[in-house]
Chains A and B, each alone.
Chain A
Amino acid sequence: MNLNLTLIGQLIAFTIFVIFCMKYVWPPISGALADRQKKIAEGLDAADKAARDLETAKSQIEDELKQARSQVTELLEQANKRSSQIVEEAQDKARAEVEKIMASAQAQIAQDAAQAREALRADVAQLAVVGAERVLGASVDQAAHKKLLAELANEL
């Protein structure tokens, strides 16, 4: 426990260590710490900005989707309308065609029937005359019985 030169030696050693620490240890470390603080702050800012951007992008997507959806609905409606219109038109056309064909067929039938009736009437009259001739065994005076035959043909 004697005070001696150790005191001076310790003072010198202490001074040297403090100066070393001041010159070579403290500045790089505190500099690095400050840099890191800045970097972290920048990183956090960037993250905030990215989050905000994401929010904007999301709302944009929402808008665009809404728009697209309404467009699709509109298009579908149009298409539906158009298709029913086409079907209706086709139906109308077909109906008209059918009526036309039916009408012409009916006319033809009526005409054919009338013709056939005429032919049949003539044939029956002829047959009646021939039959009468055969029955009577003698020729019938055509002229004399013309009136009678005509009446007969009319009755058929």
Chain B
Amino acid sequence: MALQNPTPSEYIQHHLTNLTYGFHPENGWSFAHGAKEASEMGFMAIHVDTMAWSIGLGILFCWLFRAGAKAAHAGVPTGILNFVELMVEFVDKSVKETFHGKSALIAPLALTICCWIFLMNLMDLVPVDLVPYLFMVAGVDYMKIVPTTDVNATLGMSIGVFLLIIFYSIKIKGVSGFVGELTLQPFGKWMIPFNFLLEGVGLIAKPISLALRLFGNLYAGELIFILIALLPFYLQWFLSVPWAIFHILVIVLQAFIFMMLTIVYLSMAHEHH
């Protein structure tokens, strides 16, 4: 359903719709034609574009850093090894400043988060119409190329972090220690339901805020790029260039914030209160 001369709202709607494959109550397993069908599919659907771009970029990250790891030696570093080592040292420093325990997982986790989110965010700087147009020519109607503007992607990662928070809390403090932490503070044992409510909200808020912060920033950024794209072509560069330059900061910052908060949450899970 390629749009011919779309109205602005149709254009925006189109650019914010994922390529969805799922189980439709009437059509069975199929690609959704438009946002309405996609939402009718409910939970039994998958955003093909989000998955493809994020996995592609994840593989790019793995390939790049694996190449660096293969070239790693104690001599003078060159080429790709320089860049990879720079990133590794930066992440390692951030982890060591915040997390004081010993863990083989946290530093690689932080590196993966930082680089992967950065690459996914970077797709935001590709002109908004370029890739969707190419796919439209090839017969694919919907194509959102920035996976982090899909709340599923950010929530998927933050749930991964959330599971690790619970895993480490129980591993370090034991089940009773973790339950105690949730129920016996801040007001002592006579206020257990109230404590649990308070701490439970605090715990659940961690993955939700992680996911929504990243999603919100990138979604808003993307939306503004789309709005700028609605302007006459001779005005677009006047707004899109400053916004893109400003957005470079957002892209890096959001990747960094997601990484730092993950480290902070996991180091909190390792500490006894």
- What residues make up the interface of A, taking CB atoms closer than 8 Å to B? 1-11, 13-18, 20-22, 24-33, 35-36, 38-39
The reply on B195 being an interface residue by CB < 8 A is no
Between B16, B22, B46, the greatest number of chain A beta carbons within 10 A of the residue's beta carbon is seen for: B46
A2-B42, A5-B44, A21-B112 given; A29·B88 CB < 8 A: yes
| B156, A9: Cβ atoms closer than 8 Å | yes
Per CB-CB distance, the 3 closest pairs between chain A and chain B, nearest first, are A10-B156, A35-B74, A6-B152
The reply on B10 being an interface residue by CB < 8 A is no
18 intermolecular pairs with C-beta atoms under 8 Å apart: A2-B42, A3-B155, A4-B42, A5-B44, A6-B47, A6-B156, A7-B152, A7-B155, A10-B155, A14-B112, A14-B157, A15-B160, A16-B58, A20-B66, A21-B65, A27-B69, A29-B85, A33-B85
Contacts of B44 in A (CB 8 A): 4-5
- Minimum distance in angstroms from A17 CB to a CB of chain B: 5
| B22, A22: Cβ atoms closer than 8 Å | no
| A4, B46: Cβ atoms closer than 8 Å | yes
The reply on B186 being an interface residue by CB < 8 A is no
Contacts of B74 in A (CB 8 A): 32, 35-36, 38-39
A22-B105, A24-B66, A31-B72 given; A4·B55 CB < 8 A: no
Interface of A, secondary structure class, is: helix
- What residues make up the interface of B, taking CB atoms closer than 8 Å to A? 16, 18, 20, 22, 38-39, 41-47, 50-51, 54-55, 58, 61-62, 65-66, 68-70, 72-75, 77, 84-85, 88-89, 92, 104-105, 107-109, 111-112, 116, 147, 150-153, 155-157, 159-160
- Minimum distance in angstroms from A98 CB to a CB of chain B: 88
Cα A32 to Cα B89 with chains together (Å): 11
A5-B45, A11-B159 given; A30·B88 CB < 8 A: yes
Interface of B, secondary structure class, is: helix
Contacts of A25 in B (CB 8 A): 62, 65-66, 68-69, 108, 111
Contacts of B92 in A (CB 8 A): 30, 33
Cα A89 to Cα B73 with chains together (Å): 82
Contacts of A36 in B (CB 8 A): 74-75, 77
Cα A33 to Cα B73 with chains together (Å): 8
A4-B47, A31-B72, A32-B73 given; A21·B41 CB < 8 A: no
Contacts of A33 in B (CB 8 A): 85, 88-89, 92
Q: Which of A5, A21, A35 contacts B43 (CB 8 A)?
A: A5
Cα A34 to Cα B20 with chains together (Å): 46
Cα A20 to Cα B58 with chains together (Å): 10
Cα A8 to Cα B22 with chains together (Å): 14
User: Which residue on A lies nearest to B164, using beta carbons?
Assistant: A18
